[in-house]
């Protein structure tokens, strides 16, 4: 096909760098500028080969959203091309497109090939990876700009390609619509007076072709919007999750659930309108000007009337834009609060039932629903009032123009066909004007949603590309806290003031003290979840900030009071949904936590499902599974916060004995009377 965009071959120079070469090809296809030599330096750990998980991790760092799929040979045509295929069980290639002749691939080792499907079936393993470019890739192709995060949501530049594509298709459809009145003019002014049947047949055939092309064009336009919106939604959701989860804990503590619900809902609005509205606005404006110029050549005075009323409509709408945006913003907030309250009710259903709070929650939900309805009513009423005012003006204009056109025909200065064409073009102006005004209102609302999404990037922290080898390095497990100070309530309550302590390798430290003195906060400071006002945290003699986040997380197992299980099976939760699942390791961790036998007694054993809050398990079982999850990655250090609070003394003693026998560094904050039996050191917090 003429103009088809092609994947440029990136040759792998080393035997095991097919992953990097494939990702470079697809990144460059979507506008990136990644060089294989740069990727080789950034990811030296792939020198011995890589896995599917490595491919997915690196794709995200290169600003692409990966989606691994199982697709048999018959379903290859349903994939989004270009994509990556697993090849011969030890290789990856890029699939550019599929046709009746076969599959066109770009092999990093061999180059471009077109293989029949019979040959493909012998090499393709059934695993495909779709890669959707994130807006940040196209806004900053190298992926190294500091402004790329905000640009992903605030800048329109990443969407220009899709907007331009929509505009071209829409322009073609509108061009066809402009031809139709001319056909009717010929019939009225030429065919009927001259009784020319041959010309009538020619016009009828041409008019039929125009109508058919218009139907096909409308279909193409709708399909373009559908496909583009789907890709944009996937990319935007991936980017939003990545940015949101890059924020520190304080970011979430300062915001309610409704805030994040509003942000997530903004994605749907943004994706639904950004391509369609911006493209439509550009096309409508161009065609408004074009048709007005045509009308002026037909009759300058009457065209001035059309232009004046059109300018009045646009001017009034622009003047009211600010108020419209304010009403839209109120609606977004009200809807988020309503949904947040509903989710909160479901999450707290046990408390609602136990404390007979049904009526209270019902009334609260209705109150928030009324606020949403009122906000929506105000926004819609504002738009309706504007529409009524403009419709009154346009109705008067319609009568005036019809009168002026009729006088031209009666005076003999205009034919009936020209009159009809002029009036049809005037109707066309009204339609495009209405579309343009509505679209401009939606575009301003897009800005509201863009800003809401971009707010999630303000404090996001992203790690630079790690050497994969760092994930396999094990620390000795020595902690040192130097001169830590931290306060809450805007400095009114000081939890720590120059606190210092040392944790020796393989020691068992008991963090003790009454409730509310900062035991949990101290553990979060050690984990860099909470930033101290002053002081240092050293890990094996080096500032913890000097290590990559992945390396720290790989060496420290954590159970905090806020920890929860997620929807899925027990085996998935304990393994943290690891793609390279080690079932034996899962069982060993559950044995250490004295929950293995209980899991086996469940109907589906380790494949038993738990709810998003672990509601199918007792609190003691949940806690032991959380502890098993912390052990699964075989960390050097365990940081535990009331990790055995829901267990009876016998099971707690067994678990503590098992943990101590592992020879790991353990820091355990607890009120338990049993924990002190196993400690080698104690940090009394909040005591003189």
Is residue 425 one of the residues assigned to a domain? yes
* Whether 453 and 479 share a structural domain: no
* Whether 350 and 246 share a structural domain: yes
580-616, pLDDT tens digit by residue? 889 999 999 999 999 999 999 988 889 988 866 545 7
537-559, pLDDT tens digit by residue? 988 888 887 887 778 888 899 99
* Whether 419 and 483 share a structural domain: no
The yes-or-no verdict on residue 144 having pLDDT over 60 is no
- Average pLDDT (170-180) is 70
* Whether 50 and 164 share a structural domain: no
Domain range enclosing 233: 157-457
- What pLDDT, on the 0 to 100 scale, is given for residue 54? 85
Q: In the structure encoding, which two tokens stand for residue 261, read together?
A: 């619900």
The count of residues in the chain is: 688
* Whether 189 and 310 share a structural domain: yes
Q: In the structure encoding, which two tokens stand for residue 331, read together?
A: 């609606």
The yes-or-no verdict on residue 673 having pLDDT over 50 is yes
Is residue 148 one of the residues assigned to a domain? no
Is residue 40 one of the residues assigned to a domain? yes
* Whether 263 and 411 share a structural domain: yes
CATH number for the domain harbouring residue 86: 3.90.70.10
Is residue 556 one of the residues assigned to a domain? yes
In Å, how far from its chain's centre is CA 278? 20
* Whether 373 and 254 share a structural domain: yes
Name, in order, each residue with C-beta under 8 angstroms of 71's C-beta and a sequence gap of 6 or more. 78, 79, 126, 128
Is residue 146 one of the residues assigned to a domain? no
Q: Which of 457, 485, 502 is the last residue of a domain?
A: 457
* Whether 271 and 168 share a structural domain: yes
What's the total number of domains in the chain? Answer: 3
Q: Centre a 10 Å sphere on the Cβ of residue 438 and count the other Cβ atoms it contains.
A: 17
* Whether 450 and 522 share a structural domain: no
11-24, pLDDT tens digit by residue? 776 667 889 989 99
CATH number for the domain harbouring residue 655: 3.40.50.300
The yes-or-no verdict on residue 669 having pLDDT over 80 is yes
Q: Which of 427, 457, 487 is the last residue of a domain?
A: 457
Is residue 462 one of the residues assigned to a domain? no
Q: How many Cα atoms are found within 13 Å in the side-chain-facing hemisphere of 602?
A: 18
- What pLDDT, on the 0 to 100 scale, is given for residue 95? 93
Is residue 4 one of the residues assigned to a domain? no
Q: Which of 457, 482, 514 is the last residue of a domain?
A: 457
CATH number for the domain harbouring residue 390: 1.20.1560.10
* Whether 297 and 404 share a structural domain: yes
Query: Which long-range contacts does 309-314 make (Cβ < 8 Å, 24+ apart)?
Result: 309/393, 309/394, 309/397, 310/429, 310/433, 312/393, 313/390, 313/393, 313/394, 313/433, 313/437, 314/433, 314/436, 314/437, 314/440
Is residue 427 one of the residues assigned to a domain? yes
Residue 471's pLDDT band (boundaries 50, 70, 90)?
A: low
- Average pLDDT (490-512) is 85
- Average pLDDT (334-361) is 81
* Whether 62 and 163 share a structural domain: no
Contact 94, 105 (CB under 8 A): yes
* Whether 98 and 199 share a structural domain: no
């Amino acid at each position: 096909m003429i103009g088809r965009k092609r994947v440029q071959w990136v040759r792998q120079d080393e035997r095991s760098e097919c992953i990097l070469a494939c990702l470079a090809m697809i990144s460059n296809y979507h506008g990136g500028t990644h060089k294989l030599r740069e990727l080789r330096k950034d990811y030296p750990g792939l020198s011995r080969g890589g896995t599917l998980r490595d491919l997915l991790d690196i794709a995200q760092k290169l600003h692409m959203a990966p989606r691994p799929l199982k697709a048999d040979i018959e379903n290859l045509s349903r994939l989004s091309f270009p994509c990556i295929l697993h090849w011969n069980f030890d290789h990856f290639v890029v699939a550019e497109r599929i046709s009746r002749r076969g599959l066109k691939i770009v092999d990093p080792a061999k180059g471009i090939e077109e293989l029949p499907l019979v040959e493909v079936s012998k090499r393709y393993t059934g695993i495909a990876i779709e890669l959707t470019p994130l807006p940040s890739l196209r806004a900053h192709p190298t992926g190294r700009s500091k402004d790329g995060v905000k640009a992903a949501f605030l800048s329109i530049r990443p969407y220009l390609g899709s907007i331009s594509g929509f505009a071209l298709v829409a322009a073609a459809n509108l061009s066809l619509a402009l031809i139709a009145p001319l056909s009717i003019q010929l019939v009225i002014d030429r065919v009927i007076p001259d009784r020319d049947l041959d010309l009538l047949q020619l016009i009828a055939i041409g008019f039929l072709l125009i109508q058919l092309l218009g139907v096909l064009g409308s279909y193409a336009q709708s399909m373009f919007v559908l496909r583009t919106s789907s890709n944009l939604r996937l990319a935007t959701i991936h980017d939003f999750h990545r940015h949101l989860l890059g924020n520190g804990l304080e970011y979430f503590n300062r915001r309610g659930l409704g805030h994040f619900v509003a942000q997530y809902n903004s994605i749907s609005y943004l994706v639904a309108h950004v391509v369609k509205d911006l493209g439509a606005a550009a096309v409508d404006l161009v065609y408004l000007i074009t048709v007005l110029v045509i009308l002026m050549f037909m009759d300058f005075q009457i065209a001035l009337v059309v232009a004046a009323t059109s300018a009045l409509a646009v001017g009034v709408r622009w003047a009211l834009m600010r108020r419209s945006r304010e009403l839209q913003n109120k609606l977004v907030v009200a809807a988020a609060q309503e949904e947040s309250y509903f989710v909160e009710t479901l999450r707290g259903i046990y408390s609602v039932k136990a404390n007979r709070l049904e009526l209270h929650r019902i009334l609260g939900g209705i109150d928030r629903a009324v606020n949403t309805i009122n906000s929506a009513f105000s926004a819609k009423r504002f738009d309706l009032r504007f529409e009524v005012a403009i419709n009154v003006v346009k109705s008067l204009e319609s009568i005036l123009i019809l009168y002026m056109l009729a006088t031209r025909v009666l005076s003999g200065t205009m034919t009936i066909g020209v009159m009809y064409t002029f009036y049809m073009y005037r109707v066309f102006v009204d339609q495009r004007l209405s579309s343009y005004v509505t679209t401009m209102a939606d575009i301003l609302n897009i800005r509201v949603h863009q800003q809401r999404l971009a707010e999630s990037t303000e404090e996001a922290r992203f790690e630079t590309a790690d050497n994969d080898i760092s994930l396999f390095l094990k620390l000795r497990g020595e902690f040192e806290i130097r001169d830590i100070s931290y306060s809450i309530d805007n400095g009114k309550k000081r939890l720590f003031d120059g606190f210092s302590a040392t944790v020796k390798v393989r020691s068992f430290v008991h963090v003790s003290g009454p409730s509310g003195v900062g035991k949990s906060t101290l553990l979060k400071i050690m984990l860099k979840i909470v930033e101290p006002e002053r002081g240092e945290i050293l890990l094996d003699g080096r500032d913890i900030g000097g290590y990559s986040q992945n390396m720290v997380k790989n060496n420290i197992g954590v159970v905090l009071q806020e920890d929860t299980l997620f929807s899925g099976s027990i085996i998935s939760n304990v393994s943290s949904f690891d793609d390279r699942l080690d079932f034996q390791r899962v069982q060993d961790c559950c044995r250490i936590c004295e929950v293995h036998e209980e899991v086996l007694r469940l109907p589906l054993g380790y494949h038993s499902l738990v709810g998003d809050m672990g509601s199918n398990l007792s609190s003691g079982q949940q806690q032991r599974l959380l502890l098993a999850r912390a052990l699964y990655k075989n960390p050097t250090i365990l940081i535990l916060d009331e990790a055995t609070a829901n267990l009876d003394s016998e099971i707690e003693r067994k678990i503590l004995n098992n943990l101590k026998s592992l020879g790991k560094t353990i820091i355990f904050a607890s009120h338990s009377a049993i924990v002190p039996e196993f400690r080698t050191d104690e940090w009394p917090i909040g005591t003189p």
